[in-house]
Amino acid sequence: MDEKLLDLLDMALAERFQLAYAALRESDPQSENLAQELVSLSDSIRESTEISQGTKDRIECYLSQNSDLEVAFQKHLYIQGAKDCVAVLRELGVIQ
C-alpha cells in the first residue's frame, strides 16, 4: 500500500479508537473506574521511594511495549472486522 494511504489509515484508526474509548468510559462506569485506578497506580509507582529507578524504568518499558502491542492488536481486529463485515454483506447479496 502507498505510504500516504497507510498514514491516513493510521490516523483514521487512531481517531476511531479514541472515540470508542471515550464512549466506553462514558457509558460504562466500571471501565472509567478501572482507568482512574490505572492512573493512580501509575502515579504511585512513579512517586514511590521504595522502588529503584532501574525497576521503575523496567516497569515503564514493559507497560509501553504492552500498550504498543495492544494498539497493534486492536488495529488488526478493527481491520479484520471491516473485512468480515464486507464478506458477510457479499454473502447476503447486499453488496457485490
Q: Counting Cβ atoms within 10 Å, is residue 18 exposed (0-12), middle (13-18) or buried (19+)?
A: exposed
pLDDT of 32 > 70? The answer is yes
- pLDDT: which is higher, 13 or 92: 92
Identify the pLDDT of residue 2: 80
Contact in structure between 78 and 13 (CB atoms under 8 Å): yes
CA–CA dist 23, 78 (Å, integer): 16
- What pTM was estimated for this model as a whole? 0.70
Domain boundaries of the chain, sorted by first residue: 3-47
Mean pLDDT, rounded, of the chain = 91
- Tell me the pLDDT tens digit for each residue of 62-86: 999 999 999 899 889 988 998 999 9
Cβ–Cβ < 8 Å for 7, 69: no
Judge whether residue 1 has pLDDT over 80. no
